[in-house]
């Protein structure tokens, strides 16, 4: 039986964790957390360097609190003995300062229920998802608890499957999630699968638990307060995924499109795409973006593929079909051509007569740098458009293979500056990407006025190649333009609505800027102007 439809048990969907060594700092964070929308706070009293004094904290009380005093083996910092810990815990329970208490499953039976104080009975495992987790949970179900909590470290996708199954089938209110990067999506999916609340760190820097999102992550990226059983789930399959900008972009746009959906990063190691697709099907997940290293595997996994996937053998989008299978698309391919066509149309509108006619894509001579995943889509798309393509790649054999596949020319990497004529250079290598921002894949003397330079690197947007191209009066298409277009088409496939490109470009630029408050501002704007009705109480 699912508990998804039970009346709200907790005062808020987010329990904000405050973990500081001094009472003074706790008081400051309590105030700030409430200001930032916290309505339920867990105080990690084990972090305090001195004995806890509840009466020093209560003047700052503005919402219900959970008292937690975690020992080292459970990821906490309690320095004293177990007997002392239980004594302090009982003092907190009767202090009147806390509405909730967290008691570990092995000590919960030694602490009697007191008044209206609600009990979270918890199990933590900082090293693994144990083989007998289901048995541990069965025993916990018999304990005196208002909420059961399971927090275990995931080492692989299968660990996530087990925790999701427990969460989904929980007969009592349960918050079950995996810690670590693999487990990240399970922390948020709980709200769809019936968890009364999930956890967030107030202070990202405190590193309270591996993979614990911060309250700011929920304000800027994940719309967790609007998640319910009906929320559709989308996500990104890749490895690595932790620093991807796709969750920020997709979640903001889903809100703007007024779709009750959330988009999550799923870390999936090479070779494990079919397993991951099966595991997350149990949620279920309606569609995925696909990035390194799974684009070719995604094309193989799908039962139906569109023409661009059939042509390139690579997919960056998987859409779940009513029959349970996947339809695969390659929106990188369409984004490359859309970026180029839009750029040429813009030039046709604005270019002075003395600069001559704007070329057609089919008349252009292109130098494609790189022979990896993105260059593959570039070469196929340009060849299909009739462009004269030459490929140069660091690993010559790879370039030869791709050139043979698409039917274009190839040159040695060292000879790339000799490719003439050249109307357009497309960088499909990561050269120039953060942190190696002082590198460019071509010498600036190769760049001539009027040439088009298309850099697919988008972190940063203004790569050295882009800067040098502008300085030498080239026309520029940036990786941001392409990234936004491939994401926009994915959103159209996910929701049936094509989002506007310009706000997405703005959003991505803000997300990549170190000034994170720009995103908070964006979140507030969405709340005020565009949020769906069920979001009215958000932040």
DSSP assignment letter at 452: E
Helices (H) and strands (E) in the chain, counts: 18, 20
Is residue 245 near ligand NAP by the rule CB under 6 A? no
71 or 294: whose CB is closer to ligand NAP?
294
The neighbour count for residue 171, using CB atoms within 10 Å, is 10
Question: C-beta of 481: minimal distance to ligand NAP in Å?
Answer: 8
Q: Report in angstroms the alpha-carbon separations of 20 from 41, 153, 338.
A: 13, 23, 51
Question: C-beta of 511: minimal distance to ligand NAP in Å?
Answer: 14
CB 17 within 8 A of CB 207: no
278 is catalytic: no
Is residue 398 near ligand NAP by the rule CB under 6 A? yes
CB under 6 A: which stretch of 131-139, 218-226, 428-436, 518-526 binds ligand NAP?
A: 428-436
Of 37, 430, 450, 503, the one binding ligand NAP (CB under 6 A) is 430
Residue 185 to residue 181: CA distance in whole angstroms? 9
Of 486, 490, 495, 526, the one binding ligand NAP (CB under 6 A) is 486
263 or 483: whose CB is closer to ligand NAP?
483
DSSP assignment letter at 213: P
Q: Which of 172, 295, 384, 409 is catalytic?
A: 295
Of 393, 469, 491, 508, the one binding ligand NAP (CB under 6 A) is 393
26: its two tokens: 């706790």
- Measured at CB, which residue is nearest to ligand NAP? 372
Is residue 428 near ligand NAP by the rule CB under 6 A? yes
Is residue 457 near ligand NAP by the rule CB under 6 A? yes
Question: C-beta of 443: minimal distance to ligand NAP in Å?
Answer: 13
Question: C-beta of 71: minimal distance to ligand NAP in Å?
Answer: 44
Q: For 474, left (φ over 0), alpha (ψ -120 to 50), or beta?
A: beta
Is residue 446 near ligand NAP by the rule CB under 6 A? no
Residue 49 to residue 412: CA distance in whole angstroms? 63
Residue with tokens 């973990």: 19
Is residue 334 near ligand NAP by the rule CB under 6 A? no
Residue 482 to residue 475: CA distance in whole angstroms? 15
Of 220, 429, 452, 495, the one binding ligand NAP (CB under 6 A) is 429
H helix or E strand, kind and range, residue 184: helix 180-189
Of 212, 482, 504, 507, the one binding ligand NAP (CB under 6 A) is 482
23 or 398: whose CB is closer to ligand NAP?
398
293 or 532: whose CB is closer to ligand NAP?
293
429 or 526: whose CB is closer to ligand NAP?
429
First to last CA, the chain: 31
259 or 393: whose CB is closer to ligand NAP?
393
Question: C-beta of 286: minimal distance to ligand NAP in Å?
Answer: 22
By CB neighbour count within 10 A (0-12 exposed, 13-18 middle, 19+ buried), where does 264 fall?
Answer: buried
Q: Considering CB under 6 A, how many residues would be counted as binding ligand NAP?
A: 24
Query: b/e per residue, 78-93, with b = 16+ CB within 10 A?
Result: beeeeeebeebbeebb
CB 371 within 8 A of CB 402: yes
Is residue 433 near ligand NAP by the rule CB under 6 A? yes
By CB neighbour count within 10 A (0-12 exposed, 13-18 middle, 19+ buried), where does 391 fall?
Answer: buried
Question: C-beta of 473: minimal distance to ligand NAP in Å?
Answer: 23
Which positions ≥6 away from 142 have C-beta within 8 Å?
none
Of 92, 458, 460, 476, the one binding ligand NAP (CB under 6 A) is 458
Residues 43-82 that bind ligand NAP (CB under 6 A): none
Q: Report in angstroms the alpha-carbon separations of 253 from 163, 220, 224, 249.
A: 29, 12, 15, 6
Residues 286-325 that bind ligand NAP (CB under 6 A): 292
Which positions ≥6 away from 401 have C-beta within 8 Å?
371
CB under 6 A: which stretch of 138-146, 149-157, 175-183, 423-431 binds ligand NAP?
A: 423-431
The neighbour count for residue 395, using CB atoms within 10 Å, is 12
**Would you give the binding string for ligand NAP spanning residues 361-380, x where CB under 6 A is met?**
---------xxxxxx-----
Question: C-beta of 289: minimal distance to ligand NAP in Å?
Answer: 10
CB under 6 A: which stretch of 11-19, 210-218, 456-464, 514-522 binds ligand NAP?
A: 456-464
273 or 482: whose CB is closer to ligand NAP?
482
Query: b/e per residue, 414-423, with b = 16+ CB within 10 A?
Result: eebeebeebb
As annotated, the active-site residues are 295
Residues that bind ligand NAP (CB under 6 A): 292, 332, 370-375, 393-395, 398, 428-431, 433, 456-458, 479, 482-483, 486
């Amino acid at each position: 039986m699912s508990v998804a439809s039970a009346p709200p048990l907790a005062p808020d969907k987010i329990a904000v964790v405050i973990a500081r060594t001094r009472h003074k700092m706790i008081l400051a964070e309590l105030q700030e957390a409430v200001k930032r929308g916290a309505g339920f706070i867990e105080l990690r009293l084990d972090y305090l360097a001195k004995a806890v004094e509840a009466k020093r904290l209560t003047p700052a009380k503005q919402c219900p609190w959970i008292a937690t005093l975690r020992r080292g083996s459970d990821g906490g910092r309690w320095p004293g003995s177990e007997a002392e810990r239980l004594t302090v815990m009982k003092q907190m329970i009767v202090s009147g300062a806390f509405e909730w208490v967290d008691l570990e499953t092995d000590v919960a039976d030694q602490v009697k229920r007191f008044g209206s104080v609600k009990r979270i009975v918890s199990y933590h495992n900082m090293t693994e998802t144990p083989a007998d987790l289901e048995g541990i949970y069965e025993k916990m179900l018999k304990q005196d608890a208002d909420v059961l909590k399971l927090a275990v470290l995931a080492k692989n996708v299968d660990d996530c499957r087990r925790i999701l199954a427990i969460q989904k089938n929980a007969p009592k209110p349960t918050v079950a999630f995996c810690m670590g990067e693999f487990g990240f999506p399970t922390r948020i999916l709980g709200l769809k699968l019936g968890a009364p609340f999930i956890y967030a760190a107030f202070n990202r820097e405190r590193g309270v638990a591996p993979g614990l999102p911060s309250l700011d992550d929920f304000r800027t990226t994940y719309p967790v307060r609007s998640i319910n059983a009906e929320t559709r789930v989308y996500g990104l399959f890749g490895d690595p995924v932790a620093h991807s900008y796709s969750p920020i972009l997709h979640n903001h746009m889903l809100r703007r499109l007024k779709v009750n959906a959330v988009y999550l990063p799923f870390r999936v190691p090479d070779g494990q795409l079919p397993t991951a697709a099966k595991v997350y099907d149990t949620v279920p997940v309606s569609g995925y973006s696909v990035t390194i290293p799974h684009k070719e595997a995604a094309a193989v996994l799908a039962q139906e593929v569109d023409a661009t996937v059939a042509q390139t053998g690579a997919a960056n989008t998987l859409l779940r079909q009513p029959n349970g299978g996947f339809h695969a698309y390659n929106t990188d391919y369409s984004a490359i051509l859309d970026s180029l066509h839009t750029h040429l149309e813009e030039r046709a509108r604005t270019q002075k007569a003395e600069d001559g006619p704007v070329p057609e894509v089919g008349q252009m001579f292109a130098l494609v740098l790189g022979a990896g995943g993105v260059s593959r889509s570039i070469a196929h798309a340009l060849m299909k458009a009739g462009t004269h393509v030459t490929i140069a790649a660091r690993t010559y054999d790879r370039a030869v293979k791709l050139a043979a596949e698409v039917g274009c020319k190839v040159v040695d990497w060292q000879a790339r500056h000799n490719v003439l004529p050249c109307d357009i250079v497309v960088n499909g290598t990561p050269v120039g990407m953060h942190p190696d921002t002082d590198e460019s894949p071509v010498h600036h003397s190769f760049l001539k006025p009027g040439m088009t330079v298309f850099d697919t690197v988008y972190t940063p947007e203004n790569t050295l190649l882009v800067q040098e191209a502008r300085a030498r009066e080239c026309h520029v298409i940036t990786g941001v333009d392409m990234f936004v277009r491939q994401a926009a088409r994915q959103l159209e496939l996910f929701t049936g609505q094509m989002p506007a490109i310009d706000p997405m470009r703005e959003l991505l630029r803000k997300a990549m800027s170190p000034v994170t408050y720009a995103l908070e501002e964006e979140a507030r704007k969405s709340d005020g102007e565009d949020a769906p009705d069920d979001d009215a109480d958000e932040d």
